[in-house]
Chains A and B, each alone.
Chain A
Amino acid sequence: MNDLQNKLSRYRMKPVEYEKMRKLLGKEPSNIEWALFSALWSEHCSYKSSKIHLKKFSETLNDRVVNSQGENAGVVDLGQGERIAFKMESHNHPSFIEPYQGAATGVGGILRDIFTMGARPIALADYLCFGSPTAPRMQALVDGVVRGIAGYGNSVGVPTVTGQTQFDDSFNQNILVNAMAVGYLAPGDPIALSKAEGVGHWVVVVGAQTGKDGVHGASMASQSFEEGQDDLKPNVQIGDPYFEKLLIESCLEVIQKKLVVAIQDMGAAGLTSSSFEMASKGQIGMDLRLDLVPVRENLSPEELLLSESQERMLLICKPSQWEQLEKHFLNWGLVVAKIGELTAGRKVRLFWEKEILCEIDPDVLVENAPVYDRPYHAGQISSAAKEIKRISGNLKDLYQQKFLGVDHSSRESIYRQYDQRVGALTVQDASVDVALLRLPASGRGLSINVGCRSFLMKQDVQIGAKDAVYYPALQMAIKGCQPIALTDCLNFGNPENPEVMTQFVASCEALRRACLDLDLPIVSGNVSFYNETQSQNARGELVRENIIPTPATGLIGLRENVSDVPADVFQKSGRTVFLVDGREVQGSLKVDLAHFIQLSKLSASSQMVSQGGLFFSLLKMCQGQIGFEVNEKSESLTNKRTITSEILYAAIFEPKDQDMFENYLSQHKMSFSKLGKTNDSDISILDFFITREAFDTDRARGLRRDFEILA
Chain B
Amino acid sequence: MTKLGVKIMPRKVILDSQGRAVEQTLKLNQMNVQHVRVGKFIELEFQQNKNDALIEARRIAEKVLSNPLIETFEIVEME
A and B touch in their complex, CB below 8 angstroms: yes
Q: Contact mask A185-210 → B, CB, 8 Å, 1/0? A: 00000000000000000000000100
B78 near A: Cβ within 8 Å? no
Distance (whole angstroms) from the CB of A404 to the closest CB of chain B: 32
In Å, the complex CA distance between A208 and B21 comes to 11
In Å, the complex CA distance between A297 and B12 comes to 9
Stretch at the interface among A236-244, A255-263, A507-515, A586-594: A236-244
A333 with B24, Cβ < 8 A, contacts A208-B15, A297-B13 known: yes
B70 near A: Cβ within 8 Å? yes
Which residues 197-244 in A have Cβ within 8 Å of B in the complex?
208, 211-213, 233, 235-236, 238-240, 242-243
Residues of B within 8 A of A309 (CB): 15
- Find out whether the CB atom of A242 lies under 8 angstroms from the CB atom of B17: yes
Residues of B within 8 A of A208 (CB): 15
Residues of A within 8 A of B13 (CB): 211-212, 235, 297
Which residues 271-328 in A have Cβ within 8 Å of B in the complex?
296-297, 309-310
Q: Contact mask B14-53 → A, CB, 8 Å, 1/0? A: 1101001100100010000000000000000000000000
Distance (whole angstroms) from the CB of A335 to the closest CB of chain B: 10
In Å, the complex CA distance between A97 and B70 comes to 11
A238 with B70, Cβ < 8 A, contacts A213-B14, A213-B15 known: yes
A101 near B: Cβ within 8 Å? yes
In Å, the complex CA distance between A97 and B20 comes to 25
- Find out whether the CB atom of A240 lies under 8 angstroms from the CB atom of B70: no
Residues of A within 8 A of B17 (CB): 238-240, 242-243
A-B contact count (CB 8 A): 40
Distance (whole angstroms) from the CB of A156 to the closest CB of chain B: 13
In Å, the complex CA distance between A288 and B18 comes to 31
Nearest B residue (CB) for A333: B24
- Find out whether the CB atom of A236 lies under 8 angstroms from the CB atom of B14: yes
- Find out whether the CB atom of A233 lies under 8 angstroms from the CB atom of B68: yes
- Find out whether the CB atom of A98 lies under 8 angstroms from the CB atom of B69: yes
- Find out whether the CB atom of B70 lies under 8 angstroms from the CB atom of A101: yes
In Å, the complex CA distance between A98 and B68 comes to 10
Residue from B12, B21, B24, B69 in contact with A236 in the complex, judged by beta carbons closer than 8 Å: B69
Nearest A residue (CB) for B16: A238
- Find out whether the CB atom of B24 lies under 8 angstroms from the CB atom of A240: no
Residues of A within 8 A of B21 (CB): 240, 242
Residues of A within 8 A of B28 (CB): 333
How many chain B residues touch the partner (CB < 8 A)? Answer: 14
- Find out whether the CB atom of A233 lies under 8 angstroms from the CB atom of B69: yes
Distance (whole angstroms) from the CB of A398 to the closest CB of chain B: 40
Describe B's contact surface by its main secondary structure: loop
Distance (whole angstroms) from the CB of B19 to the closest CB of chain A: 11
Distance (whole angstroms) from the CB of A125 to the closest CB of chain B: 25
Nearest A residue (CB) for B21: A242
Residues of A within 8 A of B69 (CB): 97-98, 233, 236
In Å, the complex CA distance between A309 and B15 comes to 8
Q: Contact mask A326-368 → B, CB, 8 Å, 1/0? A: 0000000100000000000000000000000000000000000
- Find out whether the CB atom of B20 lies under 8 angstroms from the CB atom of A240: yes
Which residues 55-73 in B have Cβ within 8 Å of A in the complex?
67-70
Distance (whole angstroms) from the CB of A214 to the closest CB of chain B: 10
In Å, the complex CA distance between A211 and B15 comes to 7
In Å, the complex CA distance between A296 and B17 comes to 12
- Find out whether the CB atom of B68 lies under 8 angstroms from the CB atom of A238: no
A98 with B67, Cβ < 8 A, contacts A242-B21, A333-B24 known: yes
In Å, the complex CA distance between A208 and B14 comes to 13
In Å, the complex CA distance between A233 and B11 comes to 12
In Å, the complex CA distance between A242 and B21 comes to 8
Residues of A within 8 A of B10 (CB): 238
Nearest B residue (CB) for A237: B15
In Å, the complex CA distance between A346 and B29 comes to 46
Residues of A within 8 A of B24 (CB): 333
In Å, the complex CA distance between A238 and B69 comes to 11
Residues of B within 8 A of A243 (CB): 17, 20
Residues of A within 8 A of B20 (CB): 240, 243
Residues of A within 8 A of B67 (CB): 98
Residues of A within 8 A of B12 (CB): 297
Distance (whole angstroms) from the CB of A294 to the closest CB of chain B: 13
Nearest B residue (CB) for A240: B17
In Å, the complex CA distance between A608 and B64 comes to 44
Residues of B within 8 A of A240 (CB): 15, 17, 20-21
In Å, the complex CA distance between A446 and B12 comes to 44
In Å, the complex CA distance between A240 and B69 comes to 17
- Find out whether the CB atom of A211 lies under 8 angstroms from the CB atom of B14: yes
Which residues 76-108 in A have Cβ within 8 Å of B in the complex?
97-98, 101
In Å, the complex CA distance between A277 and B6 comes to 46
Nearest A residue (CB) for B10: A238
Nearest A residue (CB) for B24: A333
In Å, the complex CA distance between A705 and B28 comes to 49
Nearest B residue (CB) for A241: B17
In Å, the complex CA distance between A297 and B10 comes to 15
Which residues 465-518 in A have Cβ within 8 Å of B in the complex?
none
- Find out whether the CB atom of A296 lies under 8 angstroms from the CB atom of B68: no
Distance (whole angstroms) from the CB of A97 to the closest CB of chain B: 7
List 7 contacting pairs A-B, 8 Å CB cutoff, sorted by A: A97-B69, A98-B69, A98-B70, A211-B13, A236-B70, A243-B17, A297-B12
Pairs of residues from A and B, 8 with the lowest C-beta to C-beta distance, nearest first: A240-B17, A238-B15, A236-B69, A212-B13, A98-B69, A238-B14, A211-B15, A242-B21
Given contacts A98-B67, A208-B15, 6 further A-B contacts (CB under 8 A): A98-B70, A236-B14, A236-B70, A240-B15, A243-B17, A297-B12
